[in-house]
Structure 1
Amino acid sequence: MNFDIANQCVATIFSDSYREARNKFLEVTPGSRAYKCSSTGPSGEELFTDVAYFGPTRAERLLVLISGTHGVEGYCGSAAQLLFLQAKFHEVLPPSTALLVVHALNCYGFAWDRRVTAEGVDLNRNFIDFAEPLPQNPGYDELAEHFVPVDISEEGVRRAEAALAAYEKAHGELAFRKAASSGQYTQPGGAFYGGTEPTEARRTLEQIAADFDVARRKRVLILDYHTGLGPYGHGELQCELSSGREGYERAATIFGASVTSPVLGTSSAVSIPGTQDAFWQRTLGDRHTYVCPEFGTYQPPRGRLVLREDLWLFMYRPDVVASEAGRQIRQAVKWHFYPQAADWKEMVLWRSHQVHRQALHGMASAD
């Protein structure tokens, strides 16, 4: 990718709304299939997860690109998917390889500039087996009222932050991070809530996998684009807990030493139950390799503050979601997970292009 192409991509590939991103995706995937969401967007518009497939119908190898697992993070993922298609990589797939592109998996969150689904659930905590006992997070339960306090006045936030700081001082940074972000299943409407049953977005992914016969493939490589963790603009390649060290080693074979894993303690994320990787692990076992390109934005304390206000808005003041104050809160979430800066966008594109080339090479050299 040369300098002129990078500048052109920054200007044309990124979008400013879910609707714009969807229109751009449909322009380059005229044969795509739409999965309608039961929820609507801020203007009452219909919402869809769109899926495009390229390559042999019965290809033994499959590359899967997913955007919008965490709704508002779809701005980045959608741009990365468009970059792949505009580079025409789908026209030069390795032999016996197909491409499946899932655009705006959590289309509700994308349209509303929220991380969560319409049910208020963090989709990347929702892929647990609900027939088993729910994971416990006593640290979150202890701090729940401070993560999303009823009072978000300046004084209310000061008290909440003081309580969180006291917990971190008493228990350590790692314990605090686990309490804060590893997921919880007891506080609906709270931060990183994993739900009590499969969400509509999860069921959509399961239906897509069934419709495109993913389970019979011999090798599947999944890129699930995210933003928010790590240094500004850096694209960390994260593996997840579900596929363990074996999944990490499969990913490292393809992408090299930049791959990280919570199992090894090298990831900017803590170990999380119920991530999307759990679905792929159940479906494919060691026939899959899951990687999350995680593009850093701003420091975690800022993210905690904007997510707190978003959750507070929809939990305690749903009547003002459409007001100017509500739009400002949602805009702050968007800006945190989608920096409106050319340098960040260019960093995302350069790293995505590199990862895409590595993924194609990995598919070509797979046993």
Structure 2
Amino acid sequence: MTDDLPQAALAAFSADYFEAREKFRRWAPSAVAYPSAAKGPGGEALSTDVAWFGDPAAPKVFVTVSSTHGVEGYCGSACQVDWLAGGGPGRLAADEAALVIHAINPYGFAWDRRVTEEGCDLNRNFVDFAAGVPENAGYDELAVHIVPPALDGPVFAAAEAAVADYRRRHGEKAFQIARKSGQYRHPAGVFFGGFAPSGPRRTLERIVGDYRLADRARVVVVDFHTGLGPFGYGEIQTEQVAGLDCYHRARTMFGRSVTSSELGTSTSVVLNGTMDGYWYQLLGDRQTYVCLEYGTFDPESGRRVMRQDHWLRAHGGPSPDPALAARFRAEMRAHFFPDSDDWKEMVVARARQVQRQAVEGLRG
């Protein structure tokens, strides 16, 4: 690894899931592969790869997760690779360990989609389906307009007019909550939380069991995301399930830049079925979970590329136009992974700070 930050950042990023996996395993040759039921665009095998560093019985564990929202894995993988290449495991104390979970949603990463192979948003999938799923009346009202049957012409214009009318009547925050908080009735729609636990959720549950994380005294989790906030800025978000106690623990570890959806200081609205909720149910106040969310482009660009991606599966037919599919995929990738040197350097610089603070946070 070079000490030159710009060069290190470029070296850490990859052009696709397969290169990212190869780089990760180069720095973590003993990583364990958890095979996915999904296949890559060329029929390739896919997997989540997991590396443990430190004493297997360590009471304090630092966990990083990449590719919760598949296409966002370019960023998360690079942050993990840079930490490994920079000697991160060697800075752990005797009673500390690290668990690096690479590409928890390998299908989404390989296909440049946010969703799992089931079309599910993994960060809305951690609900107790047996107990009943959250309601989202706002999304129910807007479902046909958020992913309309056509992307141009009168049908599309009518859909956009309906969305604009909802925004006027209810306000922007209500619209964002309706669209993003999670919905469980419209499998072709955006932010669909699923009808059951997804493949990647089950994989995470297996990993947690295999490494006995529920038995640990303290766990700090950093989950890498992209798509919200100012270009290149890494916002440290806490979510609502663990409440203000988690927020205050995170503030102690990471400083005053930590935000909270519960307090309304985050670029994210309050969400249902999050990974944060999973870790809290597992460990309670023994865990501190943060989402490290890097800004890319404006929210309307994100709404457009996600609408295109979901429209292609819902209305593009069994054999969608290859040129159109390629364009939509490229635009999805470009929104969640700005392939520019300045963005990459900003991402890695912030990741180094946050990962260092997370390990220091294990020490109380």
TM class by smaller structure: over 0.9
Decide whether the 8 Å contact of 2:228 with 2:268 is kept in 1.
Answer: yes
CA distance 1:229–1:92, change in 2 (3 Å): same
RMSD (CA atoms): 1.4
Contact 1:125 1:193 in 2 (8 A): yes
Amino acid at match of 1:198: P
Map of 1:128 onto structure 2: 127
Cα separation, 2, equivalents of 1:321 and 1:29: 39
Alignment-mate amino acid for residue 127 of structure 2: I
SS at match of 1:258: coil
CA 322–40 in structure 1, closer or farther in 2 if over 3 Å, else same:
farther
- What is the TM-score with the length of structure 1 in the denominator? 0.97
Partner deviation per Cα, 1:227-283 (whole Å, 9 max, x = no partner): 000111110000111111111111111001111111111110000010001111111
Q: Which amino acid aligns with 2:116?
A: T
The aligned residue for residue 253 of structure 2 is: 254
DSSP 3-state at the match of 1:36? strand
Structure 1 window deviating more from structure 2 (104-113 vs 321-330): it is 321-330
Q: Which amino acid is 1:140 matched to?
A: Y
Preserved CA contact (<8 Å) 1:239 1:247? yes
Q: Give yes or no for contact 1:68–1:77 (8 Å, CA) kept in 2.
A: yes
Structure 1: which amino acid aligns with 2:142?
L
Q: What is aligned with 2:54?
A: 55
> For structure 1, which segment, 117-126 or 130-139, has the greater mean C-alpha deviation from structure 2 after superposition?
130-139
Q: Which residue of 1 aligns with 2:199?
A: 200
User: Which residue of structure 1 lines up, in the alignment, with residue 36 of structure 2?
Assistant: 37
What residue in structure 2 maps to residue 22 of structure 1? 21
Whether 1:65 aligns to 2:61 is no
Determine the C-alpha separation between the residues in 2 that align with 1:285 and 1:362. 16
**TM superposition shift of 1:158:** 3.0
Matches within 5 A, 1:1-367: 5-320=4-319, 323-364=322-363, 366=364
Secondary structure at 1:225's aligned position in 2? Answer: strand
> Any conservation in 2 of the 1:135–1:273 contact (CA below 8 Å)?
yes
Q: What amino acid is the match of 2:347?
A: V
Question: Equivalents in 2 of 1:322, 1:349: separation in Å?
Answer: 37
Distance 1:221 1:10 in 2: 24
The aligned length equals: 364
1:319 deviates by 2.8
The superposition leaves residues 91-115 of structure 1 with CA deviations (integer Å, 9 ceiling, x where unpaired) of 1102300000000000000000000
Runs of 4+ in 1 over 6 A off after TM superposition: none
Aligned mates of 1:133, 1:229 — CA distance in 2: 29
Contact kept in structure 2, 1:127 and 1:276, CA below 8 Å: yes
- The amino acid across from 1:271 in the alignment is V
Quote the offset at 1:344 in angstroms.
Answer: 0.8
Q: Name the SS of the counterpart of 2:256 in structure 1.
A: helix
The structural deviation recorded for 1:6 is 1.3
Where do 5+ consecutive residues of structure 1 fail to align? none
Asked whether the equivalents of residues 60 and 219 of structure 1 are also in contact (C-alpha less than 8 Å), the reply is yes
Instruction: Measure the CA separation in 2 of the matches of 1:115 and 1:30.
Output: 27
Q: CA deviation at 1:155?
A: 4.3
Q: CA deviation at 1:136?
A: 0.6
Preserved CA contact (<8 Å) 1:168 1:176: yes
User: Aligned partners of 2:321, 2:109: CA distance in 1, in Å?
Assistant: 16
Query: How many percent identity over aligned positions?
Result: 50
Kept in 1: contact 2:10–2:345 (CA 8 A): no
